[in-house]
């Protein structure tokens, strides 16, 4: 039977990681894999998480199963983080998931159960795994223009023009902040216009919020999501704890669904059903740590301080790279790097130029020229800047 299986296309980022590991050059720079790294190239355990783990180790008395949809305390802590204090608990259903990817998958599954004929609209470009999951599920999908690759800014006029084609019951996938792969975000005024359009069309917004706290701060990064949630009767939010809590391998995420209060019980039951059909119980360790950090004032203050260090560090690297490139190119065409937010930006290089930087300078980035700003440090920024100019970007 297994002889009938067909080879699957390799994940481009995982393949890039393999090439990087095999490269013997000591000065190689990894800007491909989407994880945060500090100035020493490490992805450290955050101080608050380490302290919470110690407390949990001392206090935990059992490893038995938790609730099928996850712990209500985790749901509440994440809802307050994402939606703010005073969020509409009477409208909220929530599901603890296997990372943010699991939250996205379960959101698509829920939408399919609710409306089997729905089309999912996605930004062009978007995180490649969005498309991979949709295609695997055989869900119809359509792209809407999002990024002006020449100006390296959001092409909002084109986005709104394309979204005119949305019909009632369709799902419109939006990036909550720190757009992956471009780093270009909607303004709050643009979020309001999108909310107006989706409300008029009767479409369901699904917001992928993977980087809250990495852009302009915890509240600012959630502002667009909160605006949409306050305006539309139904919203899905897929939140990841991998980046802002640094717990990548714990696979901790949360799917939040806002619906009419009368539909809450059925929606919550359906979410639990989806977990049961997929993997039964989501991992608990990371979710318990997140709950502890968010609900303990001392741990939360420590976490917010370290998250702010991470955020401002990335902003500093962005500004340094933009300044280096301005000096080397004698132009302002790379100033967009300082204006983008989060870990990623699209450089605007061709695949050939990306390959030149890899082969000649040991600089690894995805072929579409998405680079992970967090893979840099003060010493490697000038190296990257020189390589970009030498490659003719």
Q: Considering only the C-alpha atoms of the chain, give the largest distance between any 2 of them, rounded to a whole number of Å.
A: 63
Closest by CA position to 34, among listed 180, 174, 153, 222: 180
Q: What are phi and psi of 207, to 5 degrees?
A: -105, 120
Task: Confirm whether 57 is a catalytic residue.
Answer: no
Task: Confirm whether 210 is a catalytic residue.
Answer: yes
Task: Confirm whether 368 is a catalytic residue.
Answer: no
Bridge partners, 124 (sequence order): 145
Q: What are phi and psi of 172, to 5 degrees?
A: -110, 115
* Extended strands (E) in the chain: 29-30, 92-98, 120-124, 141-145, 147-148, 153-154, 171-175, 204-209, 235-240, 252-258, 344-346, 363-364, 370-372
Q: Exactly one of 155, 162, 208, 221 is catalytic; name it.
A: 208
Separation CA 241–CA 99 (nearest Å): 7
Task: Confirm whether 201 is a catalytic residue.
Answer: no
Q: Exactly one of 48, 79, 94, 127 is catalytic; name it.
A: 127
Q: Which pair of tokens denotes residue 338?
A: 């300082």
Helix axes 188-201, 156-163, angle to 10 degrees: 10
Parallel, antiparallel or unpaired: strands 120-124 and 171-175:
parallel
Q: Exactly one of 243, 284, 338, 368 is catalytic; name it.
A: 243
**264 contacts 233 by C-beta, under 8 angstroms:** no
Q: Exactly one of 48, 52, 69, 210 is catalytic; name it.
A: 210
Separation CA 283–CA 252 (nearest Å): 7
Residues annotated as catalytic (active site), given as ranges: 127, 208, 210, 243
């Amino acid at each position: 039977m297994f002889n009938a299986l067909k080879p699957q296309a390799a994940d481009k980022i995982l393949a890039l990681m393999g090439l990087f590991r095999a490269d013997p050059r000591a000065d190689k720079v990894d800007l491909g894999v989407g994880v945060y790294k500090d100035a020493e190239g490490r992805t450290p355990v955050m101080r608050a998480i380490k302290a919470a783990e110690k407390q949990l180790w001392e206090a935990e008395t059992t490893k038995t199963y938790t609730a099928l949809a996850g712990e209500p305390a985790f749901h509440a802590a994440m809802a307050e983080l994402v939606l703010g204090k005073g969020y509409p608990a009477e409208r909220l259903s929530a599901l603890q998931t296997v990372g943010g990817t699991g939250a996205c998958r379960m959101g698509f599954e829920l939408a399919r159960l609710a409306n089997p004929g729905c089309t999912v609209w996605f930004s062009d470009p978007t995180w490649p795994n969005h498309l991979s999951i949709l295609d695997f599920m055989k869900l119809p999908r359509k792209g809407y223009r999002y990024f002006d690759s020449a100006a390296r800014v959001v092409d909002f006029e084109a986005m709104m023009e394309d979204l005119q084609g949305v019909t009632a019951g369709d799902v419109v996938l939006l990036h909550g902040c720190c757009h992956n792969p471009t780093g270009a975000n909607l303004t709050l005024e643009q979020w309001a216009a999108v909310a107006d359009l989706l409300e008029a069309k009767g479409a369901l917004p699904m917001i992928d919020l993977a980087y809250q706290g990495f852009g302009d701060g915890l509240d600012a990064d959630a502002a667009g999501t909160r605006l949409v949630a306050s305006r539309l009767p139904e919203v899905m939010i897929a939140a990841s704890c991998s980046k802002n809590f640094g717990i990548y391998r714990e696979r901790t995420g949360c799917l939040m669904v806002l619906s009419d209060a009368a539909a809450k019980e059925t929606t919550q039951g359906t979410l639990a059903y989806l977990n049961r059909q997929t993997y039964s119980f989501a991992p608990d360790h990371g979710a318990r740590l997140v709950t502890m950090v968010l609900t303990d004032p001392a741990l939360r203050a420590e976490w917010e301080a370290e998250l702010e260090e991470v955020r401002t560090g990335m902003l500093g690297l962005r500004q340094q790279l933009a300044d280096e490139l301005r000096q080397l190119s004698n132009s302002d065409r790379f100033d967009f790097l300082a204006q983008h937010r989060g870990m990623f930006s699209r450089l605007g290089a061709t695949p050939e130029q990306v390959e030149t930087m890899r082969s000649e300078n040991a600089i690894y980035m995805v072929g579409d020229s998405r680079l992970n700003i967090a893979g840099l440090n003060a010493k490697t920024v000038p190296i990257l800047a020189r390589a970009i100019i030498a490659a003719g970007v």
